[in-house]
Structure 1
Amino acid sequence: MAPRLIEGNWRVRAACQSTDPDLFFPASSTGKSLEQAAEAKAVCAHCLVRRQCLAFALRTRQPHGIWGGLTGDERNLKTPDRVADRFARNPAATV
């Protein structure tokens, strides 16, 4: 059985650890930034701790960046309960 991840320790298992952090913070939501967001989301799609990352972003109300595969605008459209329910049903789901 895998050890339970203590709050914050999920980051050491994040798929983005070897990726330039700037990728996850597009400058806008248009043009080239859309391509950048898609690339960041592709990294998130294969992440083992995507749920923990998204939960952190929702809990701490991160206004910017791609967290758990969602942009700030996408996170604002979802309530934490709806996002958590969707991931509980299918951890590989995209929102």
Structure 2
Amino acid sequence: MGAIAELSARLAFDADDREWMLEAKCLDADPEAFFPEKGGSTREAKRICTACPVRDECLEFALSNDERFGIWGGLSERERRRAKRLTA
């Protein structure tokens, strides 16, 4: 399943618990920026996350759901793993 299709499927699941996603800045952005190819730039996605009003909720969602791909809450997979270790 492609990154865009996977994200769409995840957004549709438990939509009531994810109303915060409707305020996300990434909804108006190119989804490919949030799921770059290995070695690709994450700069654009992180720039969008910086101005996002639901950045904290997004990061919390990614950490609690063990998201392994993409930029969530302004952090890459590696950065989320590091954050999770530091809070454990």
TM class, shorter-chain normalised? Answer: 0.7 to 0.9
Kept in 2: contact 1:58–1:80 (CA 8 A): no
Residues 21 and 75 (structure 1), Cα distance of their counterparts in 2 relative to 1, 3 Å cut: same
Unmatched runs of 5 consecutive residues or more in structure 2 = 1-15
- Alignment match, 2:48: 43
Give the distance between the partners of 2:71 and 2:85, measured in 1 at CA. 16
Q: TM-score, normalised by structure 2?
A: 0.75
Runs of 4+ with deviation above 3 angstroms:
none
Higher CA-based Rg: 1
Higher helix share: 2
- Cα RMSD, aligned residues only: 1.7
Q: TM-score, normalised by structure 1?
A: 0.70
- Alignment match, 2:28: 18
Residues 69 and 52 (structure 1), Cα distance of their counterparts in 2 relative to 1, 3 Å cut: same
Give the number of aligned pairs.
72
Residues 74 and 81 (structure 1), Cα distance of their counterparts in 2 relative to 1, 3 Å cut: closer
Aligned-pair identity in percent equals 39
